[in-house]
Each structure stands twice: as structure tokens, then as C-alpha cells.
Amino acid sequence: MSIVIKSNYEYYEKLEVNLTNKFQSDSVLIGINLEEAKIIFASENYYDLFGYDIFNNDIENVFSQRSIKKISNFSYNFKPYNIKSRILANLEIFLKNYLVNVPSFMFFSGATLCVEFQINFDKINYYFDEINYQQILHYLTESKDSINILSSNLCKYISELTGFERTYFCEFLQNNNGVIKANYFSNGLESILNHYYPATILPDSVRELYVKNTFRIINNVDYIPTPIKGCSSKIDLTYSVFRDVSSIHLDYLRNMSLKSAISFSIVIDGKLKGLIGGHSRNKNYTPIEILPKIQTLVDVISIKIKQLRNNIIKKVQVEYKSTIDDFVFSYEKSQCNFEKMPNKSFEILKEIFNSHLLFYRFNNKTETNSMIPDEFVEELLKKLKEYKIRKIYVFDRLVTFNPIFYKWSKSIGAGVLVINLSNDLSNFIVLIRKEECQTIKWNTNPDELDLFSDEEKILKSRKSFNTWLQDVRHKCKQWTMKDYETALQLHNQLILSRSNFLNHVQMNKEVKFYEIIN
């Protein structure tokens, strides 16, 4: 039996998990052609629920006239080329000759209107306390408590509201690693407070989905994927709550003896900055109309985090304004050419960022001092090119990318902050920090790869959330939000200075050309 070694990061970056032709069996998906008013695809489990064939049927045979009006209004007000999300609506659906009011989500997949809902929609035994909800909303909005205290109280509320036995707040750091800042746990599930999660668990492709689709639920990890009848190829279910989930993620949950999971995105300025999630050892059929209400509460936390970030930015602007201005002035005086700048200007940056070493790249030429090996620079540049272009890159532990960095951790540096000034990595500044030994709690060994069997397709890592204590070497002191915001401010000022310089050069050329021809 051959064994293929992959990482979650490599697997997910190449996998378009939003494209599928399968659905969770505890829910139903219906695709509607609005022009013909017909159902053009449906998850195959619909027959057990409806008792008749709805595929290729007129929608008036499935939905009441009042609900068809709702569907028409939705499609009229939110054209496929405008809608970037979904809405919740109560639709009257004919089920085995009975007209039943079913909470449903509506969203577009291309030009097709999709309707999805839970099969288990009996709400007789579920009570939602609107007064209590408004109280927690008011508390989160008006309280001056810290983010950790606010999120801790929100986790407790979500667990009590939904029945998920462990609810947690995971914040993403500047290097995209996650850390659990708050959690609530019961029924034997252990605390995961202060546990760290490697960034590789959630690559960029998956993070982008979490930004678009801000809440998801898996009612039962042991569901049988249901084919979507009428789909000759995979369809885009980016905004679906119940689309089929990657088998890797389901195995990950099963390995921890979990039966259900839920997640809500913390999105700030279009970027995923954290998650509030839930785990349960039991199947969980939280009514879907509760999910948008919880997301509203999570959005308040997002606003609070953004306010905290803005306060840090203001502090940075005050604390480092003169030193950053000095560096930018030197940059402008040197005609935006790093090679012409005095060394003392770069010493300013090393002090601001508490870095041991620094080097820069200007017009594809790398300039370093003799202490930084060319091989170190080449390996770092090779790694940067694997990522999408960013303004700022932050890495605390370079050895996770390539074991070759082990030999440089003490003498050169274990982590870097890169201020990128071009779209092709031809111009950037690299600040380097040396190794600083420390102990970190992880949910698993962050260096451990996932092993897959070609024949069995079994995930063989990350068995539980049990604390894995790592006496960390080859890791620098963590780059903070303050470091990141300072770097971003410097980046923006350097870009502006260079743009002004290039415009000035171009204007001078045009003036000289005008003088010559006249």
C-alpha cells in the first residue's frame, strides 16, 4: 500500500470545496429556473420528504402562491449579479398533501435560485427567548468589557441557546495562526483555552469561503452525502449552509468523537480575523432561523475588535510618527532608492520593530550585510513567491516551511516581517528576529503532516483537542498587531512617496520633451 504525504494546506488550496454535486442528507436543496418556474435540480433525498417527484416539476406544485410571490420578490430585488449572500424566509411547501411552513435559506448559484432547509424542522420542543437575546445583544454592544470577557459570555450564551457543548472564540494572529481566547465547555468536553492552531489548518482558499459564507452547521458528521439530481457537473454552493463537507474535515471531527459542529465568521474589512465555533458529542439540529441571530451577535464582536485595532493604529501613529517620518523623508531624499539611503535610516526600523537584522530588495537586486547568507535570502524569497501577493507577510517560525532554516534560527533569525512594495516581489524590506525559546499550547503537533492512504483514504492525524505542549525553539518573539499596523502604515507612506516621485519624474520628462519639440 503506497502512502502519500500531504498537508491540509496543500490539499485545501487546490480543492474548490464550494463546488459539489452532493448535499448533506439531513437537509434538502432545490434549484429553481426562474424564467421557466421549474425545479431543475434537487437533492435526491427530496422524495422521502415530499412523497412525489419534484424534479422538473412546476414550482406551483411545490410552493404555495404566497411563497412563490416571496421567491419572485427576492429574485426581483436581488439579481444574480448583485446578490453576494443569502436570506432567510418562511416558505409554505406542500409535503405529502399538507401545506407546511418551512424556514428556508435562499441564495443564487449562477442564475439558478437555490432553496435549502432542514428535514428536521419540528420546532415544538424548541423555545427562543427573544427578551434574553435582546439583553445579550445590548450587553455586547454597550459593555466596556475586554474582547476576551465579551466573547467568553457570548460563548456561554451560544452553548445554552443551541445545545453545543463546547463553544469557543478563535482569534487569528498576524501570521494566520489561531489562538483560543475564550471557550465554554460542558458534558465532559475539555477546555481548549489558550490552545494554538497552525495557519495550515485554514489556508487562504478556505478563509475566503468563510468571508463569503459567514455561518455553517453540520447537524450530523455521519450523514450520507446525497447526490443532487439534475446536476451534470458540480455547482457552486458557496452560500449554502448545508453543502457537502470535505471528508477530511468530517474525519477530523469524528476522530475527536464529535457528532456536530457549527461556525460563525469574524470578518473585519473583508478579511477573516477569527471564528466563533461550537462542538457537540450529539447530533444537533439547531433551528436555522437562530443562525442569523447568532451571527448578528458575532458581528458585534467583530466591530469591537475593529475598534481595538483602530485604537492601536492611533497609538502607533502617535508613538512612531516622528521615526517613521524620518525614514520616509530619507527614502524621498534618496529618490526612493534603498541603495542610496544611509545605514542609520535602516537602524531606525530595527529599533521600531525590535529586530536583530534587516535586509532589503530593490529592483530585483537583494542587498544584505555579510551576516545574512545568500542561501537564507533565496529560500525566503522562494517561500514568499508561493503566497498570493500581500502588503505585509508575517512568519514567526520559518522552520515550518523548510528544515534548512534550523541552522539559522540562533545566528541569523527564526522569524521575519516583510514589508512588500511591489506586485512582483521586486522591492521589499525584511525585518528579522532571532530565536526566543518559549512554551506554547497547541491542539496538536503543528509540525505533524497528514497521512492519507491511496486505498483507504483515511485521515491519520489530529486525533483530539488534547493539549500538546511544545517547548518551542527556532521561533522568534511573536509579531503583534502593533507590529503589523506599524508596518502597514510604513508601507502605505512608502508607496505614496514612490508614486509621487514617479509622477514627478514623468512630468519632468514630458516638460523636457515639450521643450525639445518646440
Mapped to the 3 state alphabet, what secondary structure does 472-502 carry? ECCCECCCCHHHHHHHHHHHHHHHHHHHHHH
Q: What is the mean pLDDT of residues 70-76?
A: 87
Q: Is the pLDDT of residue 288 over 90?
A: yes
Look at residue 11 in the predicted model and tell me its pLDDT.
52
pTM attached to this predicted model: 0.77
How far, in Å, CA of 183 to CA of 160, rounded?
13
Q: Is the pLDDT of residue 491 over 70?
A: yes
Look at residue 503 in the predicted model and tell me its pLDDT.
87
CB 479 within 8 A of CB 175: yes
Look at residue 8 in the predicted model and tell me its pLDDT.
46
Q: What is the mean pLDDT of residues 124-153?
A: 92
How far, in Å, CA of 177 to CA of 170, rounded?
10
How far, in Å, CA of 24 to CA of 415, rounded?
42
Q: Is the pLDDT of residue 438 over 80?
A: no
Q: Is the pLDDT of residue 403 over 60?
A: yes
> Among residues of the chain, what percentage have pLDDT more than 90?
57
How far, in Å, CA of 450 to CA of 462, rounded?
8
Q: Is the pLDDT of residue 256 over 80?
A: yes
Confidence of residue 505 (pLDDT cuts 50, 70, 90): confident
Look at residue 24 in the predicted model and tell me its pLDDT.
95
Look at residue 378 in the predicted model and tell me its pLDDT.
93
SS3 157: helix
Q: Is the pLDDT of residue 203 over 90?
A: no
Confidence of residue 82 (pLDDT cuts 50, 70, 90): low
Look at residue 126 in the predicted model and tell me its pLDDT.
75
CB 427 within 8 A of CB 421: yes
How far, in Å, CA of 136 to CA of 140, rounded?
6
State the CB neighbour count (10 A cutoff) for residue 245. 19
Look at residue 49 in the predicted model and tell me its pLDDT.
83
Q: What is the mean pLDDT of residues 356-366?
A: 92
Q: Is the pLDDT of residue 461 over 50?
A: no
Q: Is the pLDDT of residue 1 over 70?
A: no
Q: What is the mean pLDDT of residues 334-354?
A: 92
Residues in the chain: 518
Q: Which residue has the higher pLDDT, 402 or 298?
A: 298
Look at residue 60 in the predicted model and tell me its pLDDT.
94
Q: Is the pLDDT of residue 466 over 80?
A: no
Confidence of residue 122 (pLDDT cuts 50, 70, 90): low
Q: Which residue has the higher pLDDT, 336 or 2?
A: 336
Q: Which residue has the higher pLDDT, 505 or 469?
A: 505
List all residues 6 or more positions away from 436 whose beta carbon is below 8 Å from its beta carbon: 414, 475, 476, 477
Look at residue 10 in the predicted model and tell me its pLDDT.
53
Q: Is the pLDDT of residue 260 over 80?
A: yes
Closest C-alpha among 390, 381, 385 to residue 422: 390
Cell digits for 261? 459542529
Look at residue 9 in the predicted model and tell me its pLDDT.
47
Q: Which residue has the higher pLDDT, 195 or 466?
A: 195
> Among residues of the chain, what percentage have pLDDT more than 70?
85
Q: Is the pLDDT of residue 142 over 80?
A: yes
How far, in Å, CA of 191 to CA of 382, rounded?
39
Look at residue 462 in the predicted model and tell me its pLDDT.
43
Residue 107: burial class (beta carbons within 10 Å; 0-12, 13-18, 19+):
buried
115-124, 160-169, 250-259, 296-305: least confidently modelled range:
115-124
How far, in Å, CA of 24 to CA of 241, rounded?
10
Cell digits for 463? 486525533
How far, in Å, CA of 59 to CA of 79, rounded?
19
Q: Is the pLDDT of residue 365 over 60?
A: yes
Q: Which residue has the higher pLDDT, 6 or 157?
A: 157
Closest C-alpha among 474, 447, 441 to residue 7: 447
Look at residue 6 in the predicted model and tell me its pLDDT.
40
Look at residue 451 in the predicted model and tell me its pLDDT.
33
CA torsion angle 322 327 328 334 (round to 10): 140
Per-residue buried b or exposed e for 288-318, using 16+ beta carbons within 10 Å of the residue's own CB: bbbbeebeebbbbbbebbeeebeebbeebee
Q: How does pLDDT run across 311-340, given as a tens digit for each residue? A: 888 888 788 888 899 999 999 999 999 999
Q: How does pLDDT run across 9-58, given as a tens digit for each residue? A: 455 556 677 899 999 999 999 999 999 999 999 999 988 888 888 988 99
Torsion sign (Cα): 54, 55, 60, 62: positive
SS3 85: coil
Please name the amino acid found at residue 69: K
CA torsion angle 41 44 49 54 (round to 10): 30
